[in-house]
Amino acid sequence: MAVETGIGLALIGGVPAMAATPQTELLRWQQAAGQAGDAVKGQVFFGQRQGGEWSCASCHGQPPTRDSQHASTGKKIAALAPAFNAERLTDSAKVDKWFKRNCKDVLSRECTAIEKADVLAYLIGLK
C-alpha cells in the first residue's frame, strides 16, 4: 500500500518512493552525484559535440523547446523541455532508458550522474 506523505514521497512496502516529476528526477541525479546540477553547465554540455559528430542539440534542437527531428532518421522528437511538453521527465524508466541510449550516441559512454543532473537542471529551467 502506498501512503502519500504530502511532499511527493510515498511509502511502498515501507520503502520511500518518489513520484516521477521533472524535479524528482533532478533530485534523484543530484543525490547520486552528491552535488547540485548546474543549468549553465547543462546548457553547454547539451549544445557541444562530445568528441563525436553529434551533440544533444543535434536531434533535440537548441533550445529544446519545440518539436524537432532525429539527425539521421528524421523521426519526429517532441519538445524535450518539460515546460513545453508536460509528459517529459515524468517516468523514471524512460528517463533512464533515453539517457543511456542518447549518452552512448553522443559520448560513446553512459553519462555520469552529474552530467545528467546538469542537463536536467538546464531542461527544467527553460520557460
List, for residues 40-76, the tens digit of each pLDDT value.
Answer: 999 999 999 987 788 999 999 999 999 999 988 989 9
**pTM of the predicted protein model:** 0.83
Per-residue model confidence as pLDDT tens digits over 85-127: 999 999 999 999 999 999 998 999 999 999 999 999 999 999 9
Look at residue 4 and tell me whether its pLDDT is greater than 70. no
In the predicted structure, residue 7 carries a pLDDT above the cut 50: no
3-state secondary structure the chain: CEEECCCCEEEECCEEEECCCHHHHHHHHHHHHCCCCCHHHHHHHHHCCCCCCCCHHHHHCCCCCCCEECCCCCCEECCCCCCCCCCCCCCHHHHHHHHHHHHHHHHCCCCCHHHHHHHHHHHHHCC
Average pLDDT, the chain: 87
